């Protein structure tokens, strides 16, 4: 799994790629969310478009990020979840918590609404 971060206007875009299958890598992702809050970057867009395999460990870390940001008054939104990842969000009802987007610009704009 790889993690890429980029600021677009005042939104931190975190792009994950590869497999999210558990283990120490997930701690790295949790840390990215914690650092975002420490640096007062409270609008975070998580791009999952290049994640080709993910299980409940990945969902757990996304929920953790949501909680970390929400407690600080921020928000985490999801971009480009593949069909299969979207299915996991539906099965677990996490779809009721997360706003998901397939268009980056619309996702970025949503933070200003």
Q: For binding to other proteins (CB under 8 A), which residues are involved?
A: 19, 21-23, 52-57, 59-61, 63-64, 66-67, 84, 87-88, 91-94, 96-97
- In the bound state with other proteins, the residue whose beta carbon lies nearer, of 54 and 107, is 54
The nearest distance, CB 105 to other proteins, in angstroms, is 29
The nearest distance, CB 64 to other proteins, in angstroms, is 5
- Measuring CA to CA, which residue among 61, 58, 65, 49 is closest to residue 88? 58
- In the bound state with other proteins, the residue whose beta carbon lies nearer, of 3 and 63, is 63
The nearest distance, CB 83 to other proteins, in angstroms, is 9
Q: Which residues contact 109 (CB under 8 A, 6 or more apart)?
A: none
Helix (H, G, I), strand (E, B) or coil at 60: helix
The nearest distance, CB 84 to other proteins, in angstroms, is 6
**What is the rounded CA–CA span in Å between residue 15 and residue 32?**
11
Q: What is the CA radius of gyration of the chain?
A: 13
């Amino acid at each position: 799994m790889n993690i890429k971060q980029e600021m677009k206007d005042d939104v931190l875009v975190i792009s994950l790629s590869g497999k999210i299958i558990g283990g120490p890598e997930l701690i790295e992702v949790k840390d990215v969310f914690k650092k975002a809050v420490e640096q007062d970057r409270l609008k975070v867009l998580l791009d999952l478009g290049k994640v080709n395999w993910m299980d409940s460990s990945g969902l757990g870390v996304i929920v953790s990020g949501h909680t970390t940001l929400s407690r600080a008054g921020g928000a985490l939104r999801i971009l480009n979840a593949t069909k299969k990842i979207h299915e996991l969000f539906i099965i677990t009802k996490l779809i009721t918590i997360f706003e998901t987007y397939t268009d980056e610009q619309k996702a970025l704009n949503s933070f200003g609404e």
